[in-house]
Amino acid sequence: MDMRPKRRRRGERGLNCLRVARVLRAYLDGETDDATARRVAAHLEDCRRRGLEARTYREIKNALARCTEPEPATIDRLRGFTENLLKDGHDGTWPPAR
């Protein structure tokens, strides 16, 4: 396997890890321009760290997309829990006053 860095075409500027980190979520959401998207994609092919980060973001995004509205019973339980906290003298701030 060739471990040498890939050569870029003349006039093509790549992105370093820090710059990719700054635009990664926008890239994954399709919010970058075409030139930036190409540069990020090229960096992700070569950089294990950012590639793993991108994969993690995609997995989180996909998991959230599969989430559904909570069951009414769950909401009722949470409301009851909150009401009980307030009845016990908790004012809703954290940490609770002693």
Nearest to 47 by CA among 27, 23, 20, 28: 20
How many structural domains is the chain composed of? 1
Note whether residue 47 is domain-resident.
yes
Contact by Cβ (8 Å): 39, 6: no
Note whether residue 56 is domain-resident.
yes
Those residues with Cβ within 8 angstroms of residue 39's Cβ, 6 or more apart along the chain or in another chain: 13, 14, 15
Note whether residue 5 is domain-resident.
no
Note whether residue 33 is domain-resident.
yes
pTM check: above 0.75: no
Q: For the segment 48-84, what is each residue's pLDDT rounded down to a tens digit?
A: 999 999 999 999 988 888 888 888 888 888 888 888 7
So what's the pLDDT on residue 8?
A: 47
Task: State the residue range of the domain holding 23.
Answer: 17-87
